[in-house]
Amino acid sequence: MDSLPIRLGLTMWSHNQWQQSFYGKGTLPAERLQRYAQVFHTVEGNTTFYATPSQSTVLNWKSATSDHFKFTFKLPQAITHQQMLRGTQAQLKDFLQVMAPLHERIGQWTIQLPAAFSPEYLDRLKKFCRYFPSDFPLGVEVRHPEFFVKQAAEKEFNQWLINTGINRIIMDSRPVFAAKADNPVIIDAQQKKPRVPVHAIATANHPMIRFIGHPDLDTNLEFFQPWISKLPTWLSQGKQPYVMIHTPDNVLAPQLALKLYQALQQHTSLPDLNAFPNDNGQPQLQMF
Protein backbone atom coordinates (compact mmCIF):
# COMPACT_ATOMS: atom_id res chain seq x y z
CA MET A 1 0.00 0.00 0.00
CA ASP A 2 1.29 3.47 -0.81
CA SER A 3 1.75 6.26 1.70
CA LEU A 4 -1.50 8.15 0.96
CA PRO A 5 -4.10 7.45 3.66
CA ILE A 6 -7.01 8.30 1.34
CA ARG A 7 -7.20 8.68 -2.42
CA LEU A 8 -9.41 11.60 -3.41
CA GLY A 9 -10.72 11.96 -6.95
CA LEU A 10 -13.47 13.08 -9.28
CA THR A 11 -15.58 11.36 -11.90
CA MET A 12 -13.60 12.91 -14.78
CA TRP A 13 -10.42 14.84 -15.48
CA SER A 14 -11.59 16.90 -18.46
CA HIS A 15 -14.35 19.50 -18.21
CA ASN A 16 -14.64 22.61 -20.36
CA GLN A 17 -16.02 24.70 -17.51
CA TRP A 18 -12.97 24.00 -15.34
CA GLN A 19 -10.76 26.02 -17.67
CA GLN A 20 -10.66 29.16 -15.52
CA SER A 21 -11.60 27.74 -12.12
CA PHE A 22 -9.22 24.80 -12.09
CA TYR A 23 -6.74 24.31 -14.96
CA GLY A 24 -5.56 27.86 -15.58
CA LYS A 25 -5.50 30.08 -18.64
CA GLY A 26 -3.99 28.66 -21.77
CA THR A 27 -4.25 25.03 -20.69
CA LEU A 28 -4.88 22.83 -23.72
CA PRO A 29 -7.33 19.91 -23.57
CA ALA A 30 -4.40 17.51 -23.96
CA GLU A 31 -2.83 18.99 -20.81
CA ARG A 32 -5.87 18.62 -18.58
CA LEU A 33 -5.04 15.18 -17.18
CA GLN A 34 -1.58 16.35 -16.19
CA ARG A 35 -3.05 19.40 -14.41
CA TYR A 36 -5.69 17.25 -12.72
CA ALA A 37 -3.13 14.69 -11.51
CA GLN A 38 -1.10 17.46 -9.86
CA VAL A 39 -3.95 17.91 -7.36
CA PHE A 40 -5.98 14.71 -7.10
CA HIS A 41 -4.80 11.18 -6.33
CA THR A 42 -7.15 9.17 -8.53
CA VAL A 43 -9.96 9.49 -11.07
CA GLU A 44 -13.06 7.51 -11.92
CA GLY A 45 -12.44 6.41 -15.50
CA ASN A 46 -15.85 6.74 -17.14
CA THR A 47 -14.37 7.05 -20.61
CA THR A 48 -13.61 3.32 -20.90
CA PHE A 49 -17.24 2.50 -20.06
CA TYR A 50 -18.34 4.01 -23.37
CA ALA A 51 -15.46 2.98 -25.64
CA THR A 52 -12.13 1.17 -25.47
CA PRO A 53 -9.40 3.76 -26.08
CA SER A 54 -6.70 3.46 -28.69
CA GLN A 55 -3.23 2.31 -27.73
CA SER A 56 -1.87 5.80 -28.37
CA THR A 57 -4.47 7.32 -26.04
CA VAL A 58 -3.50 4.90 -23.29
CA LEU A 59 0.15 5.86 -23.72
CA ASN A 60 -0.79 9.55 -23.56
CA TRP A 61 -2.61 8.93 -20.27
CA LYS A 62 0.47 7.21 -18.93
CA SER A 63 2.79 10.04 -19.93
CA ALA A 64 0.48 12.62 -18.31
CA THR A 65 0.60 10.93 -14.88
CA SER A 66 3.15 9.56 -12.46
CA ASP A 67 3.39 6.21 -10.71
CA HIS A 68 1.79 7.85 -7.65
CA PHE A 69 -1.50 8.42 -9.51
CA LYS A 70 -4.16 5.69 -9.75
CA PHE A 71 -6.94 5.24 -12.30
CA THR A 72 -10.15 3.35 -11.50
CA PHE A 73 -11.31 2.50 -15.00
CA LYS A 74 -14.78 1.11 -15.56
CA LEU A 75 -15.07 -1.97 -17.70
CA PRO A 76 -16.79 -1.41 -21.08
CA GLN A 77 -20.58 -1.34 -20.97
CA ALA A 78 -20.61 -3.92 -23.75
CA ILE A 79 -19.27 -6.38 -21.17
CA THR A 80 -21.15 -5.30 -18.05
CA HIS A 81 -24.47 -4.01 -19.36
CA GLN A 82 -25.12 -5.30 -22.85
CA GLN A 83 -23.90 -8.84 -22.26
CA MET A 84 -24.27 -8.87 -18.46
CA LEU A 85 -20.84 -10.59 -18.19
CA ARG A 86 -22.00 -13.55 -20.29
CA GLY A 87 -19.51 -14.92 -22.82
CA THR A 88 -17.15 -11.98 -22.42
CA GLN A 89 -13.81 -13.61 -21.63
CA ALA A 90 -12.32 -12.74 -25.02
CA GLN A 91 -13.61 -9.16 -24.87
CA LEU A 92 -12.13 -8.70 -21.42
CA LYS A 93 -8.78 -10.08 -22.55
CA ASP A 94 -8.71 -7.68 -25.51
CA PHE A 95 -9.62 -4.71 -23.30
CA LEU A 96 -6.98 -5.51 -20.70
CA GLN A 97 -4.38 -5.92 -23.42
CA VAL A 98 -5.08 -2.42 -24.75
CA MET A 99 -4.86 -1.05 -21.20
CA ALA A 100 -1.62 -2.93 -20.43
CA PRO A 101 0.65 0.17 -20.30
CA LEU A 102 -1.42 1.41 -17.33
CA HIS A 103 -1.76 -1.83 -15.38
CA GLU A 104 0.64 -0.61 -12.69
CA ARG A 105 -1.43 2.56 -12.26
CA ILE A 106 -4.79 0.92 -11.68
CA GLY A 107 -6.25 1.51 -8.25
CA GLN A 108 -9.04 -0.90 -9.09
CA TRP A 109 -10.88 -2.13 -12.14
CA THR A 110 -14.51 -1.13 -11.65
CA ILE A 111 -17.21 -3.63 -12.52
CA GLN A 112 -20.35 -1.47 -12.53
CA LEU A 113 -23.42 -3.66 -12.97
CA PRO A 114 -26.89 -2.55 -14.10
CA ALA A 115 -30.00 -2.74 -11.93
CA ALA A 116 -31.11 -5.76 -13.96
CA PHE A 117 -28.12 -7.76 -12.65
CA SER A 118 -29.85 -9.54 -9.77
CA PRO A 119 -28.49 -12.04 -7.22
CA GLU A 120 -29.53 -14.86 -9.52
CA TYR A 121 -26.49 -13.94 -11.64
CA LEU A 122 -24.01 -13.97 -8.75
CA ASP A 123 -22.35 -17.18 -9.95
CA ARG A 124 -21.79 -15.49 -13.32
CA LEU A 125 -20.05 -12.61 -11.55
CA LYS A 126 -17.89 -15.03 -9.56
CA LYS A 127 -16.84 -16.82 -12.72
CA PHE A 128 -16.15 -13.53 -14.53
CA CYS A 129 -13.87 -12.25 -11.77
CA ARG A 130 -11.73 -15.37 -12.09
CA TYR A 131 -10.76 -14.20 -15.59
CA PHE A 132 -8.61 -11.46 -14.04
CA PRO A 133 -5.04 -12.13 -12.92
CA SER A 134 -5.05 -12.77 -9.18
CA ASP A 135 -3.11 -9.58 -8.42
CA PHE A 136 -5.51 -7.26 -10.27
CA PRO A 137 -7.47 -5.07 -7.80
CA LEU A 138 -11.23 -5.20 -8.39
CA GLY A 139 -14.25 -3.21 -7.24
CA VAL A 140 -17.89 -4.17 -7.86
CA GLU A 141 -20.87 -1.83 -7.86
CA VAL A 142 -24.32 -3.42 -7.79
CA ARG A 143 -27.66 -1.67 -8.20
CA HIS A 144 -30.32 -4.38 -7.93
CA PRO A 145 -32.54 -3.77 -4.84
CA GLU A 146 -32.00 -7.28 -3.45
CA PHE A 147 -28.34 -6.47 -2.84
CA PHE A 148 -29.42 -3.77 -0.34
CA VAL A 149 -31.94 -5.47 1.97
CA LYS A 150 -29.46 -7.23 4.31
CA GLN A 151 -30.99 -10.63 3.60
CA ALA A 152 -29.44 -13.87 2.34
CA ALA A 153 -28.56 -12.54 -1.15
CA GLU A 154 -26.67 -9.52 0.14
CA LYS A 155 -24.97 -11.52 2.88
CA GLU A 156 -23.74 -14.06 0.34
CA PHE A 157 -22.53 -11.30 -1.97
CA ASN A 158 -20.66 -9.47 0.79
CA GLN A 159 -19.09 -12.65 2.14
CA TRP A 160 -17.85 -13.60 -1.32
CA LEU A 161 -16.32 -10.14 -1.73
CA ILE A 162 -14.58 -10.47 1.65
CA ASN A 163 -13.30 -13.97 0.86
CA THR A 164 -11.88 -12.89 -2.51
CA GLY A 165 -10.57 -9.46 -1.45
CA ILE A 166 -12.82 -7.53 -3.84
CA ASN A 167 -14.04 -4.05 -2.87
CA ARG A 168 -17.74 -3.25 -2.74
CA ILE A 169 -18.23 0.18 -4.29
CA ILE A 170 -20.56 2.33 -2.20
CA MET A 171 -22.96 4.77 -3.82
CA ASP A 172 -24.03 7.71 -1.66
CA SER A 173 -26.62 9.59 -3.71
CA ARG A 174 -28.50 11.03 -0.72
CA PRO A 175 -27.29 14.60 -1.35
CA VAL A 176 -28.41 14.86 -4.97
CA PHE A 177 -31.82 13.37 -4.19
CA ALA A 178 -32.26 15.88 -1.36
CA ALA A 179 -32.03 18.72 -3.87
CA LYS A 180 -35.20 20.33 -5.19
CA ALA A 181 -35.86 19.20 -8.76
CA ASP A 182 -36.28 22.76 -10.04
CA ASN A 183 -33.82 22.87 -12.94
CA PRO A 184 -32.82 20.58 -15.83
CA VAL A 185 -29.44 19.67 -14.32
CA ILE A 186 -30.97 18.34 -11.08
CA ILE A 187 -33.82 16.62 -12.90
CA ASP A 188 -31.37 14.88 -15.23
CA ALA A 189 -29.12 13.77 -12.36
CA GLN A 190 -32.04 12.41 -10.34
CA GLN A 191 -33.28 10.47 -13.36
CA LYS A 192 -29.89 8.91 -14.09
CA LYS A 193 -28.29 8.31 -10.69
CA PRO A 194 -29.29 5.21 -8.71
CA ARG A 195 -31.17 5.78 -5.49
CA VAL A 196 -29.98 2.91 -3.34
CA PRO A 197 -29.35 2.62 0.41
CA VAL A 198 -25.88 3.48 1.67
CA HIS A 199 -24.26 0.32 3.04
CA ALA A 200 -20.92 1.48 4.40
CA ILE A 201 -19.12 -1.85 4.41
CA ALA A 202 -15.46 -2.38 3.57
CA THR A 203 -15.10 -5.85 2.06
CA ALA A 204 -11.42 -5.36 1.13
CA ASN A 205 -8.59 -2.87 1.61
CA HIS A 206 -9.75 -0.12 -0.76
CA PRO A 207 -13.43 0.67 -0.18
CA MET A 208 -14.67 3.20 -2.72
CA ILE A 209 -17.29 5.84 -1.91
CA ARG A 210 -19.05 7.56 -4.80
CA PHE A 211 -20.49 10.71 -3.20
CA ILE A 212 -23.05 12.40 -5.49
CA GLY A 213 -23.20 15.93 -4.16
CA HIS A 214 -25.96 18.49 -3.62
CA PRO A 215 -25.72 21.57 -5.89
CA ASP A 216 -25.27 23.80 -2.82
CA LEU A 217 -21.73 23.03 -1.69
CA ASP A 218 -22.26 23.83 2.00
CA THR A 219 -25.28 21.51 2.21
CA ASN A 220 -23.01 18.58 1.45
CA LEU A 221 -21.17 18.93 4.75
CA GLU A 222 -24.20 17.57 6.62
CA PHE A 223 -24.43 14.55 4.34
CA PHE A 224 -20.69 13.95 4.61
CA GLN A 225 -20.73 13.77 8.42
CA PRO A 226 -21.17 9.95 8.56
CA TRP A 227 -18.08 9.57 6.37
CA ILE A 228 -16.09 11.84 8.67
CA SER A 229 -16.71 9.16 11.31
CA LYS A 230 -16.38 6.09 9.10
CA LEU A 231 -13.24 6.97 7.14
CA PRO A 232 -10.94 7.34 10.19
CA THR A 233 -12.18 3.95 11.40
CA TRP A 234 -11.18 2.36 8.12
CA LEU A 235 -7.82 4.12 8.27
CA SER A 236 -7.22 2.72 11.75
CA GLN A 237 -7.82 -0.74 10.29
CA GLY A 238 -5.08 -0.22 7.71
CA LYS A 239 -7.41 0.36 4.77
CA GLN A 240 -6.91 2.98 2.05
CA PRO A 241 -10.32 4.29 0.97
CA TYR A 242 -11.06 5.90 -2.38
CA VAL A 243 -13.37 8.93 -2.16
CA MET A 244 -14.89 9.95 -5.50
CA ILE A 245 -16.76 13.25 -5.56
CA HIS A 246 -19.49 14.13 -8.07
CA THR A 247 -21.89 17.03 -8.44
CA PRO A 248 -24.98 17.03 -10.69
CA ASP A 249 -23.14 18.63 -13.63
CA ASN A 250 -19.61 18.37 -12.14
CA VAL A 251 -18.95 22.08 -12.75
CA LEU A 252 -18.08 22.61 -9.07
CA ALA A 253 -16.82 19.08 -8.36
CA PRO A 254 -13.19 20.19 -7.71
CA GLN A 255 -14.37 22.80 -5.21
CA LEU A 256 -16.65 20.33 -3.44
CA ALA A 257 -13.87 17.74 -3.22
CA LEU A 258 -11.58 20.31 -1.62
CA LYS A 259 -14.28 21.40 0.86
CA LEU A 260 -15.02 17.83 1.97
CA TYR A 261 -11.34 16.93 2.20
CA GLN A 262 -10.73 19.97 4.40
CA ALA A 263 -13.63 18.94 6.65
CA LEU A 264 -12.14 15.47 6.96
CA GLN A 265 -8.74 16.95 7.80
CA GLN A 266 -10.26 18.44 10.95
CA HIS A 267 -10.82 14.92 12.27
CA THR A 268 -7.87 12.88 11.03
CA SER A 269 -4.32 13.46 9.85
CA LEU A 270 -4.21 13.83 6.07
CA PRO A 271 -1.61 15.50 3.85
CA ASP A 272 -2.60 18.80 2.23
CA LEU A 273 -3.68 18.82 -1.37
CA ASN A 274 -1.72 20.83 -3.87
CA ALA A 275 -3.52 24.00 -4.88
CA PHE A 276 -5.52 24.13 -8.07
CA PRO A 277 -3.09 25.12 -10.85
CA ASN A 278 -5.33 27.90 -12.23
CA ASP A 279 -3.17 30.81 -11.04
CA ASN A 280 -0.16 30.18 -13.23
CA GLY A 281 -0.49 26.63 -14.48
CA GLN A 282 1.77 25.25 -11.73
CA PRO A 283 0.67 23.51 -8.54
CA GLN A 284 1.26 25.31 -5.27
CA LEU A 285 1.00 23.99 -1.76
CA GLN A 286 -2.48 24.65 -0.41
CA MET A 287 -2.31 25.67 3.24
CA PHE A 288 -5.30 25.12 5.52
Q: Give residue 279's pLDDT band: very low, low, confident or very high (50, 70, 90).
A: low
Domain containing residue 219: 7-265
d(CA 281, CA 27): 7
CA distance 253 to 239: 25
**Average pLDDT, integer, range 139-152:** 94
Pairing of strands 242-246, 208-212: parallel
279 belongs to a structural domain: no
Say what angle helices 152-164 and 122-129 make with each other, to 10 degrees: 10
- 278 in a domain, yes or no? no
User: Tell me: the pLDDT tens digits for 94-103?
Assistant: 999 999 999 9
Under DSSP, the state recorded for 249 is S
60 falls within a domain: yes
Does a structural domain hold residue 1?
Answer: no
User: 66 in a domain, yes or no?
Assistant: yes
CATH number for the domain harbouring residue 45: 3.20.20.410
pLDDT at site 193: 86
For residue 141, the SS3 value is strand
Report how far apart, in Å, the C-alpha atoms of 99 and of each of 86, 156, 229 are: 21, 31, 36
User: Would residue 280 count as lying in a domain?
Assistant: no
Residue 174 lies inside a defined structural domain of this protein? yes
Q: How many domains does the chain have?
A: 1
Per residue in 163-201, pLDDT tens? 999 999 999 989 898 888 888 988 888 888 888 889 999
Residue 39 forms part of a structural domain: yes
Closest to 137 measured CA to CA, from 66, 63, 73: 73
Question: Among 65, 128, 51, which Cα is nearest to 101's?
Answer: 65
